[in-house]
Amino acid sequence: MTELEERTEKLLTDISRLIDEVVSVNELRSLLNSGKKLRIKYGVDCTAPFLHLGHAVNLWTMRRFQEDGHKVIFLIGNFTSKIGDPTGRSTTREMLTDEEIAVAADEFVKQVGTVLITDDPEVFEIRHNADWFSGMPLADFIGLCSQVTTSRMLSRDMFKKRMQNDDEIYLNELLYPILQGFDSVKLESDLTIVGTDQLFNEMMGRNFQEKFGQSSQVVMTTKITKGLWGEEKQSKSIGNFVALTDSSRDKFGKIMTLDDDRIIDWMKVYTDIDLDRIAFLEQSISNGTINPRDAKIELACAIVRRYHGEEAADDERKFFLDTFSKKMFPDDAPVVAFSKGNVPSTIFELVKACHPDFSNGQIRRLIAQGAIVLNDEKIIDPQTSISLIEGENNLKTGKRTFFKAVVS
């Protein structure tokens, strides 16, 4: 085996824990063994500048390719964002303005920079698909459409579901995969790394590349795990996610709420913990020699370490154990100060002072749910009268939210 072939196998082995399917692995191996620096398509529509650990699986896979010198082409879909990707949707997406797209694009670049190498033009490049779509002659676009049948487009699961529910399907949504597929032609993409829900669109890219005389891109799909709780994958609307923009404290705290049955899957996909160690932990949890909570702490440390560094992981582990295991109140809790003549008289007023951005309804629900603890006393009635002592008063307003109410 040559040095280049060994390097190829090492890369393929390193990413194997993240990969669900490759179309096709033989094509990818051949490309890597040729010594060519691959052009990796990574396209985003700027519908919501929000990335979580699930999205980062693609990013870490691309990062591994970058480390071997391959280039990620970060394609900002400033044209297709106005069309609206129907993937995973049971209803039509609203169209965005140019201003909304520009703001979202900047935020996307910032967020992917937490994983990808973005400061080296040899391995990272930004493109915009409005560069070729905005001025495309109508005849050329109709020519693209003529190469795809309506029956093929309507075979997509989300369209079938809409038809079954008598929901509308707009023509712009049917055209979306054609646009995404043609992006691959313009980028001369060698490889694209996506979630399984994007496989249909990227296979369209292979189809168009072949018709335009290019080599077909390899399509790699990554593994999808369930969210922190429930049966769905991580989702902002559901709330079962860990965002890339979450602080180290929020990441650690959220991971400690993870359902026990998915600790091992999260370790395999979201961390770089050695697979032998993961296998040992899986067996130990199964036979009861390790408490799942301890394995979860190791998972949380690994994820925080990956995004924030070793020191942050150590700090968050200590904070969690001190605060939740030893029942200590954090020293760095935010301070909300009151003068003696302006002290809240009810728990509702105190919580409102600490959370001025919360609606009255949110505050009442928080109190009624038993999330409020003042000086070690749980309070569940919003109108409960309180008497804050002079100096520091410890207020907890959720599992991981603390304040020091200081009266002076």
Angle 363-365-366 (CA atoms, 0-180°, nearest 5)? 65
Spatial CA neighbour of 27 closest among 183, 215, 181, 223: 215
- Structure tokens belonging to residue 77: 């879909």
Q: Residue 95: its pLDDT value, please?
A: 67
Instruction: Produce one character per residue of 243-268: b if its CB has 16 or more CB atoms within 10 Å, e if not.
Output: bbebebbebbbbbbebeeebbbbbbb
- Rounded-to-integer distance, Cα 7 and Cα 94, Å: 45
- Rounded-to-integer distance, Cα 231 and Cα 1, Å: 44
* CA within 13 Å, CB half, 117: 17
* Residue 166 CB neighbours (<10 A): 6
Interval 25-32 mean pLDDT: 95
Interval 339-354 mean pLDDT: 90
- Structure tokens belonging to residue 153: 């487009």
pTM for the full model? 0.78
Residue range 70-118, pLDDT digits in tens? 999 999 988 887 765 555 444 444 667 788 888 888 888 999 999 999 9
Q: Distance from CA of residue 348 to its chain's centroid?
A: 35
> Tokens 């919580």 identify what position?
351
Interval 237-249 mean pLDDT: 90
The edge-to-edge listing of strands for the beta sheet with 218-222 is: 19-23, 218-222, 191-195, 39-44, 71-76, 124-128
* Residue 394 CB neighbours (<10 A): 15
pLDDT exceeds cutoff 90 at 196:
no
Q: Give strand pairing partners of 226.
A: 233
Measured CA distances, 302 to 311, 313, 361 (Å):
12, 7, 37
User: What's the chain's length in residues?
Assistant: 408
DSSP string, 190-248: SEEEEEGGGHHHHHHHHHHHHHTTPPPPEEEEE---B-SSSSSBP-TTTT---BTTS-H
Q: For 59-63, 306-310, 396-400, 401-405, which range has the lowest pLDDT when averaged over its residues?
A: 396-400
Q: Residue 155: its pLDDT value, please?
A: 82
Which of residues 358 and 19 earns the better pLDDT score? Answer: 19
Q: Residue 315: its pLDDT value, please?
A: 94
